[in-house]
Structure 1
Amino acid sequence: MNSRWLPGNRITLLENGEGYYPRVFEAIAQAREEVLLETFILFDDKVGRQLHAALLSAAANGATVHVLIDGWGSPDLPTSFTQPLLDAGVRLRAFEPVRRLFGARVNLLRRMHHKLVVVDGERAFAGGINYSIDHLAEHGPQAKQDYAVEVEGPLVGQIQAFCRANVEGPQPSRRTWLKRWRAMRERAGEEREVTDGAVAAFVMRDNHLHRNDIERHYRAAIRSAQKRILIANAYFFPGYRLLRDLRRAARRGVQVDLVMQGQPDMVWVMRATELLYRHLIRAGVRVHQYTERPLHAKVAVVDDRWATVGSSNLDPTSLSLNLEANVVVRDEAFAIHLRERIEALMAAHCTLVERPVPSKLRSAWIGVRSFVVFHALRRFPIWMQRMASKPPRVVALGDEAA
């Protein structure tokens, strides 16, 4: 794993849009030098317009503002939204512009799934929260439950170097990757003497040199767990090795709790996840379904000493195709706080999934079905990567339709 652990950070947990948007919009609006923003979804709604205003404020302050959106996740931004940003000097680009067939978006795979912001090289934000009103409770029953972190300290320099390199596009050549990594290491070394505060690492996933970094961090933490593993994940369908690590942890006496969707925004995803329940529960893993609203979280805590918050789900697209970014933290106070927030959800709005006792015939059918679906889904990213060899494009909005 190439991520670099850095001490001396202040990591603040932000929950849902209510906790996230005021902090990030204020930081952007007060920027004086630079704003780097990468997001999967940006909509022209109440939240998107608040971000729009903050970006214009930063540009008016004289800050250089770079915004990278995903072309599939943010496909329909009107000229009335984008042109004022371009006129103000905001450098607005789209990763792999959306392609349509009979009106439907077809290029879903290999998306830029980051949710990152860096302001003046002093403050960074990372997590799973996009810029749309469905991250606010006022949206109603379909409002998403999600998390992000605000970072201050040496780790900000690494995130800044990463986002700056993405100005040229987040699918770089090996030579560009070497330049990016050297820049991240140099920024890390600038404040190496700082020893207090949280120890943290910035971990990315791409389709070049960092294909498995996020999954490897998860697996290392799970294998070293002694008492408790708590994972809350929106789209859970990891590979065999991670599932094996969870089952082994439960069998050696570690309490393993998984919080999954019970009110999904995509029902078919929940149905795929349910194929794993019997396999996990039989090993002693406890599975909880969050039933208040759609769960969009990508967080985990191990032994109150290791935690992660980021954009990466534990499913084939996040672990094998998408560009992802997580912050991993080794800090007891932060880990305990995150655990307590997840446990509050579990106590108030989760139901424990009981192990079903089907008939022998039905049990055999479930076993065959689970085997076929599991292995098909696990090989799906490999098939798609082989078919989609063309590198993705990053285009400047205003120059080419996105």
Structure 2
Amino acid sequence: MTRIPVRAILWRTFQGWFFSALAISAALMGTSRVRKLLRGREVVRPFPRLAPLRTDVGRGDRATVYMAGDWLYADMLRAIEQAEDRILFETYIIKSDETGRRFKDALVAAAERGVDVRVIYDGFANLVVDPRFLRFPRPVKVLRYPVFNAGWQVFNRRRWGRDHRKILVVDDRVGFVGGYNIGALYEHSWRDTHLRLEGEAVWDLANAFIDFWNLRRPGDPLPSNGTPTWQPYVRAHRNVPRQLVFPIRGMYLEAIDRASSHIHMTAAYFIPDHDILAALEDARRRGVEVDIIVPKVSNHVLADWLSRGFYGGLLRAGVRLHQYEDAMVHAKTATIDGSWSTIGTANIDRLSLSGNYEINLEIFDDGLARDLEEVFATDLGNCTELTLAQWQRRTVVARACEILLRPLRPLL
């Protein structure tokens, strides 16, 4: 009887898993593609939304929360049109549709009247966009974050990560940050959350843009000025892969550990690592109410299935999961105990928390937390709660797919 070497057994096991996971992923993405094509023929059902919520924060600053793209884009374009000195515009995606053209035209018009306009966009995220659209006339200075940034340093973690940030700063007086990319799809059909800041706290957003620009364009630097004031109620946390700095994950862990009453979290792609998962379950064990809104069906079916692998443990721990219906919820927000809030660009997954360039604002203000809790309550009206009993009735095939896909979690 011939004995098969252990190495051969392990190799065959790996091959079996790899091709099974590959087949499942291909089937899921193919099915998702067909559904999107069919859904494209349907009329998008309006989802509940609130008009922009404005509140004073800290010492004289003003914050506005947006949960609808048309209101947000109107205010962003108005700020660009009123710019007198400088515009710093950074986005992950800018579509070449009517909405994208409105932004491009406004930026070009500002540059032509003498405003210093700087634009940053991610090359990989815009591969499907017509390259001609992404060419701006000479007055506009553009930084295209490269599709492949590693060069020969393929295994250097500092060289990986996409520029996933969405920032607009005008004249250092008004700033926008949040989950919204630029395009008609996001303006009308996605549920997202964005924040507008007015006042001294805008410095943090401008500084984030300036540091990124100067890192990539040392020959054409932006002046980096300090600030005479400190705003302890607003902190900008920036993930910078080039420096191996990833503070947003730590921000979440510390805030969850401080929770004593409730946690309200909205996550577009919820694929937490072990520590964040443990922190949420620990919060439940000490009596904290934990509610998380996730998409019922997101735009990335593989992320949905990887997220599903966490549902059982969370539900058994007493975490309430709410699935957003009939629209992609893309927000990245959380409030804790009615005092602490975060709004930004980072998802609860590996790519955002330890991979991409991201920015989240951490804000200590009861008024803003109240506004975000009102947004959360509005979103709950468009959700269906997933119960443990429902989850345990899923099919054997679904359970097998979750197990086979589990090793892919570190990739997302």
Q: TM-score, normalised by structure 2?
A: 0.76
Q: Is the 8 A contact 2:289 2:319 kept in 1?
A: yes
Which residue identity does 2:115 align to in structure 1? Answer: A
Give 2:140's aligned residue: 90
Give 2:28's aligned residue: none
Work out whether 1:225 is the aligned partner of 2:259.
yes
Give 1:351's aligned residue: 384
Classify 1:357/1:346 alpha carbon distance in 2 versus 1 (closer, same or farther; 3 Å).
Answer: closer
Give 1:116's aligned residue: 167
Question: How far apart, in 1, do the equivalents of 2:392 and 2:357 lie?
Answer: 43
Question: How far apart, in 2, do the equivalents of 1:354 and 1:284 lie?
Answer: 10
Secondary structure at the residue paired with 2:353?
A: helix
Pairs within 5 Å for 1:134-173: 134-137=185-188, 143-169=189-215
Q: Is the 8 A contact 1:26 1:54 kept in 2?
A: no
Secondary structure at the residue paired with 2:266?
A: strand
* Superimposed CA distance per residue, residues 63-121 of structure 1 (whole angstroms, 9 cap, x where no aligned partner): 110101100112254465344x324x00122101379xxxxxxxxx6211000011111
Secondary structure at the residue paired with 2:103?
A: helix
Work out whether 1:129 is the aligned partner of 2:180.
yes
Higher RCO (Cα < 8 Å, 6 or more apart): 1
Question: How far apart, in 1, do the equivalents of 2:390 and 2:186 lie?
Answer: 37
1:313 to 347, 359, 365: 347
Give 2:283's aligned residue: 249
* Superimposed CA distance per residue, residues 329-355 of structure 1 (whole angstroms, 9 cap, x where no aligned partner): 1111111111111111112x1111111
Measure how far apart 1:161 and its partner are. 2.0
Q: Is the 8 A contact 2:315 2:388 kept in 1?
A: yes
Pairs within 5 Å for 1:157-236: 157-169=203-215, 183=224, 186-187=226-227, 190-192=228-230, 199-209=233-243, 211-236=245-270
Give 1:299's aligned residue: 333
Measure how far apart 1:370 and its partner are. 5.6
Which residue identity does 2:111 align to in structure 1? Answer: A
Question: How far apart, in 2, do the equivalents of 1:358 and 1:290 lie?
Answer: 16
Work out whether 1:68 is the aligned partner of 2:120.
yes
Measure how far apart 1:246 and its partner are. 0.2
Q: Any stretches of 5+ residues in structure 2 without a counterpart?
A: 1-56, 150-159
Give 2:111's aligned residue: 59
* Superimposed CA distance per residue, residues 209-247 of structure 1 (whole angstroms, 9 cap, x where no aligned partner): 453300111111111001110100100001100000000
Q: Is the 8 A contact 1:171 1:206 kept in 2?
A: no
Q: Is the 8 A contact 2:73 2:187 kept in 1?
A: no
Question: How far apart, in 1, do the equivalents of 2:183 and 2:216 lie?
Answer: 23
Q: Is the 8 A contact 1:7 1:200 kept in 2?
A: no
Classify 1:228/1:171 alpha carbon distance in 2 versus 1 (closer, same or farther; 3 Å).
Answer: farther
Which residue identity does 2:207 align to in structure 1? Answer: A
* Superimposed CA distance per residue, residues 167-218 of structure 1 (whole angstroms, 9 cap, x where no aligned partner): 234599xxxxxx99x957x22xx234xx7xx821111112144533001111
Classify 1:76/1:265 alpha carbon distance in 2 versus 1 (closer, same or farther; 3 Å).
Answer: closer
Measure how far apart 1:60 and its partner are. 2.4
Q: Is the 8 A contact 2:333 2:344 kept in 1?
A: yes
Q: Is the 8 A contact 1:65 1:91 kept in 2?
A: yes
Pairs within 5 Å for 1:369-380: 373-374=405-406, 376-380=407-411
Secondary structure at the residue paired with 1:81?
A: coil
Give 1:38's aligned residue: 90
* Superimposed CA distance per residue, residues 14-67 of structure 1 (whole angstroms, 9 cap, x where no aligned partner): 122122101111111111111111110011101101101210221122111010
Question: How far apart, in 1, do the equivalents of 2:191 and 2:168 lie?
Answer: 20
Give 1:290's aligned residue: 324
Work out whether 1:323 is the aligned partner of 2:357.
yes
Give 2:40's aligned residue: none
Measure how far apart 1:317 and its partner are. 1.0
Instruction: State the aligned residue count.
Output: 344
Classify 1:296/1:357 alpha carbon distance in 2 versus 1 (closer, same or farther; 3 Å).
Answer: closer
Which residue identity does 1:234 align to in structure 2? Answer: A
* Superimposed CA distance per residue, residues 299-354 of structure 1 (whole angstroms, 9 cap, x where no aligned partner): 1111110111111000111112111111111111111111111111112x111111
Measure how far apart 1:147 and its partner are. 0.7
Q: TM-score, normalised by structure 1?
A: 0.78
Question: How far apart, in 1, do the equivalents of 2:250 and 2:211 lie?
Answer: 24
What is the root-mean-square deviation in Å for CA atoms of aligned residues? 3.0
Q: Is the 8 A contact 1:6 1:154 kept in 2?
A: no
1:19 to 71, 77, 99: 71
Classify 1:330/1:221 alpha carbon distance in 2 versus 1 (closer, same or farther; 3 Å).
Answer: same
Q: Identity across aligned pairs (percent)?
A: 28
Classify 1:171/1:326 alpha carbon distance in 2 versus 1 (closer, same or farther; 3 Å).
Answer: farther
Measure how far apart 1:8 and its partner are. 4.7
Which residue identity does 2:166 align to in structure 1? Answer: K
Classify 1:247/1:170 alpha carbon distance in 2 versus 1 (closer, same or farther; 3 Å).
Answer: farther
